[in-house]
A = this chain, B = another copy of it.
């Protein structure tokens, strides 16, 4: 009894239908993923998120494969299963190797450890960092 069900491609109308088509075209996929089909319960959220995500994730000073890895790193820290799965696969499609994913996970683990060592010991900011 989920509160919101995914809006199927058949049910989609107007703005939602347009964005579905764009997603399939831009991502070169044949099926709209559940993430977008569920966001479609609020067409404003769907449109804003799709637009923002494309802007943020596009190649810039950082390659888009690195951006996906950062995305997964955040999702691991937050423990979001769907996000980890879908963006790990996106990273692989864009060229990330298993070695890169393994190393990213190792950094995420270590950063989470040292973040808490810093908090636990209440480390003061060094004068040369101020």
CB proximity to B under 8 Å, residues A24-71: 31, 33-35, 38-39, 41-42, 44-45, 48-49, 52-53, 55-57, 60-62, 66-67, 69-71
Across the interface, do A57 and B121 meet the contact criterion of CB distance under 8 Å? Answer: no
Residue A23 at the B interface, CB < 8 A? no
Chain A contributes a number of interface residues (CB within 8 A of B) equal to: 81
| Beta-carbon nearest neighbor of A85 in chain B | B129
Cβ of A119 to closest chain B Cβ, rounded Å:
5
Give 1 or 0 for each of A91-107: 1 = CB within 8 Å of chain B CB.
Answer: 01000011111111111
Minimal beta-carbon separation of A125 from chain B (angstroms): 6
Contact indicator B125/A85 (Cβ below 8 Å): yes
A122: Cβ under 8 A from any B Cβ: yes
B35 touches A118 (CB 8 A): yes
B residues less than 8 Å from A119 (CB atoms): 76-77, 79-81, 84
| A82 CB contact (under 8 Å) in B33, B42, B111, B125 | B125
Q: State whether B118 touches A83 (Cβ < 8 A).
A: yes
Quick one: which of B57, B108, B129 contacts A89, CB cutoff 8 A? B129
Residues of A within 8 A of B (CB): 1-4, 6, 31, 33-35, 38-39, 41-42, 44-45, 48-49, 52-53, 55-57, 60-62, 66-67, 69-86, 88-89, 92, 97-126, 128-130
